[in-house]
Structure 1
């Protein structure tokens, strides 16, 4: 077989079902190898959209999503989505084509040092400069992308190598490496701190969701009565229906969650990265910190744990729940019960009587229309802040927020990937700014027969930037936009479009669109 055939056979061995990307002449061999395989190549409208699709696939499934681009501008267009996956700890394998090896030592058409360019945003990346290293390189790319903490890897395939004969076979995929249980001495130190605490608080991060630690985490919460507050990326690890949930961290709108952080005398952080939320905003100067994660904590003055448990997160929580149950270690709820009540009241408030709405007005109606297992994917902007803080989440990995790189434009292509990855209904929520960055991927979604709902919050502004400018200076500049008629835009793709102007119309639009098997767009005017 050719090297391109071998690479695709390796993808099949890894269980890859879809490769998202754009064609290019330097990948001709690879494209025809994909055509003759069990892997479905999905031509997208932009490489960034392809990378976001692979990113969200990895985030939802834990299996590396795969994206493909040609050399030069194709590779650089791919870069943002690859970086987003890397900082969000989402497993992704990027593959780029390259010109022939004989011309890479000199200046030539579209040739860039792509491997060097991808170095800062990948766990590992390499050029496949020999057909007989393809099998090992693909296996390594998937192993490292999916290994905790996951992230992005990259392989570059020069066009002349792609056509070479290969004498090796794909390596078998293996079970993922599981982390060890916590060592007894470290766990004893945690137990000692728990025994001394009166107001402990659990902070759930991305790792609690990513490592499937929700069940033991919920057992620990139920056994001990400890409250839990999540980062934007940890939503759903503890259900927001649970009376112990203080929902989501924020230094602004949810003063109650911040107040609980300040009152706590022990913080048990579970799968938390400081990229998710700056601990300098926690007001936790008097609290001891126990860090439970698969890697040691980043060195940061505002986050300097007393104990670090570097081990399997789920096993660590199981051991703690068992010990707390055996010893009767349980904590009172009086210190945070009122805070929880205020948060719930704020989240459940009634929407405005008519448009324009606020995003927070809209979210209770959207929550009503979605089942607990349905997936809401948020783009980046002012609406993301409202979704993170005010959209109750009941199951892990059902509210997907990009908060590492926090790149605009992820929602529409991400919704496509989510629709392919899960059986539940999918909603992609975005602002008018982020929507038009990758709105062309609606065509990709309709071509594939996808069925998900796009909710576009329209304020003709890069609203989050305006808000920050106005807070700092009293005015804003460079943020105003104009938005086309999005219902007509949706209908041009032959999908349903809605523009509700009252709460009843909004409720009806959400109920109809979310339950539909087809694509739909709901344009929501907000202020």
Structure 2
């Protein structure tokens, strides 16, 4: 009888089989000599290898897979700069709560302290931007380290994990077997005492307000939030990443989204609260020093992880556990059934202002096109079968504040690191996860060129996506804030981008919007064309000062 040690596979075999055991269907990355054994073994697996044009974008795509599925996406890169290029994608996923496992090649274990080609202490480089970072320093530990990485990435508040795979470990026989995680790491509801105390505080408050955060938009949590609001009278606001947590049925209780700048009517609703109930909220989304500075009101913190205590965020009670189960139990105990007069008036005013703005936006003329007109046209396309991926820039404030969505994780946005370049990679991820849906991604002409090279990847994959570029020739969000602080702007002017010719150079279809009345027709044509399509639209940001009116001083970054 042959012993296990005599038939032991290489470390690379164990890596690939472990990925298969975890249900991984795609890996995204760039090859190299220090990781080529893993790429070689992937050829004989059930996993599709998607070669990207930059490791950062590979991590973005994998993070998008994680956000939409709840299962870690996988990025892979070679040693040295290949690994360091992953850092921004890992930091983004870590901040956004997106499960992502990155694999990086490395020099031989015996050489890692020498000055050799592509030597890098990758674990210590990436540890600050991940939940877990480790090196497989023995072939026998391969499956254990990889499984630990997946568990860290997917459990609690999800995030990124990194595993360094030295070349000699990948090539050597590995005396271990792939490990399948058999248990599902699901927490139960928070403590009974904490839930009871939270219910008491909510019932005794005059103007309680619910603040939804990034974990609130997970499908299970969103269902529980809708159940709670359909039974109890509680007004709601949400961070940008909480988009889609509510359905149309609860929309009357929704004040709007908060974030970046404390100058919206919804901020008045939040300010009016004598109790704030945060659900799945992370301070990185909207700083407590903006919305709760020097405020001694009670806070109920409902999340999978304890609150990070700071001067302006010190909850009276914390419900730590499965958000969905905690909310179902909480809804049974809360008795309040009516809104306060003040809250009702604020919600009515917000509803009135929202209707007026949309009506005015729908008839905005002029070329370049006013952002509100673009929002009004995009809103018509936000059906339940559309996924929207937003990059970062002035346009993202318009999208986040004024575009409505009613499906969990329908809108993907970077609200933690606010990373430029995420939109197109996320759209590629969405076209893989949701192949029967329409995918629309939006960027500015600045952020577009951070990841525009992945258009070739989208063409190769025949990704059914439409990417819209708002063109104004500047890093406008930065310029607007510089103008507010210094009375002038610096380092923000850009050259022109011909979106149509760029698209054609990669074998994609390109459109340039000729004016506001051409928007709807162009969008319809783009969505009717299979494969990636680029749309350029010249945007008028001259009124962007309105985004910063009455702004809280601490909001200016």
Same fold judged by TM-score > 0.5? Answer: yes
The answer for the alignment partner of 1:323 in structure 2 is: 333
CA shift, 1:252, in A, is 4.3
The answer for the alignment partner of 1:425 in structure 2 is: 438
The answer for the alignment partner of 1:262 in structure 2 is: 271
* Distance change in 2, residues 1:273/1:183 (3 Å): same
Give the alignment of 1:359-378 within 5 angstroms.
359-378=371-390
Give the alignment of 1:323-472 within 5 angstroms.
323-324=333-334, 327=335, 329-332=337-340, 334-335=344-345, 336-348=347-359, 349-422=361-434, 423-472=436-485
CA contact (8 A) 1:415 1:426 kept: yes
Where do 5+ consecutive residues of structure 2 fail to align?
1-8, 541-557
Q: After the TM superposition, which parts of structure 1 deviate over 3 Å for at least 4 consecutive aligned residues? A: 250-254, 327-330
Q: Residue 85 of structure 2 aligns to a residue in which SS?
A: helix
* TM-score normalised by length of structure 2: 0.91
**Aligned-residue CA RMSD (Å):** 1.7
The answer for the alignment partner of 1:82 in structure 2 is: 90
The answer for the alignment partner of 2:303 in structure 1 is: 293
Aligned partners of 2:22 and 2:111: how far apart in 1?
32
Q: Residue 173 of structure 2 aligns to a residue in which SS?
A: coil
CA shift, 1:358, in A, is 2.6
Stretch of structure 1 that moved more, 217-226 or 448-457: 217-226
Q: Residue 439 of structure 1 aligns to a residue in which SS?
A: helix
2:148 aligned with 1:144: no
CA shift, 1:467, in A, is 0.2
* TM-score normalised by length of structure 1: 0.96
Q: Deviations along 1:234-257, whole A, 9 cap, x unmatched?
A: 111113661111120147485210
Q: Residue 198 of structure 2 aligns to a residue in which SS?
A: helix
CA shift, 1:167, in A, is 2.5
Q: Residue 331 of structure 1 aligns to a residue in which SS?
A: coil
The answer for the alignment partner of 1:245 in structure 2 is: 254
Q: Deviations along 1:375-403, whole A, 9 cap, x unmatched?
A: 11111111111111111111110111101
The answer for the alignment partner of 2:548 in structure 1 is: none
Q: Residue 36 of structure 1 aligns to a residue in which SS?
A: coil
Match of 2:522 among 498, 509, 512: 509
CA contact (8 A) 1:129 1:158 kept: yes
CA shift, 1:415, in A, is 0.9
Give the alignment of 1:148-297 within 5 angstroms.
148-210=156-218, 212-239=220-247, 242-250=251-259, 252=261, 255-282=264-291, 285=295, 287-297=297-307
CA shift, 1:340, in A, is 2.9
Aligned partners of 2:128 and 2:406: how far apart in 1?
35
Aligned partners of 1:447 and 1:98: how far apart in 2?
29
Aligned partners of 1:364 and 1:254: how far apart in 2?
21
Aligned partners of 2:233 and 2:130: how far apart in 1?
40
Aligned partners of 2:135 and 2:146: how far apart in 1?
11
* Distance change in 2, residues 1:211/1:287 (3 Å): farther
Q: Deviations along 1:109-137, whole A, 9 cap, x unmatched?
A: 11011111011011111111211111111
Match of 2:81 among 73, 79, 94: 73
Q: Deviations along 1:46-93, whole A, 9 cap, x unmatched?
A: 111101101111111111010001011111111110111111111000
Q: Residue 181 of structure 1 aligns to a residue in which SS?
A: coil
* Distance change in 2, residues 1:321/1:516 (3 Å): farther
CA contact (8 A) 1:228 1:238 kept: no
Aligned partners of 1:252 and 1:127: how far apart in 2?
41
- State the aligned residue count: 525
2:52 aligned with 1:44: yes
The answer for the alignment partner of 1:97 in structure 2 is: 105
The answer for the alignment partner of 2:6 in structure 1 is: none
Where do 5+ consecutive residues of structure 1 fail to align?
none
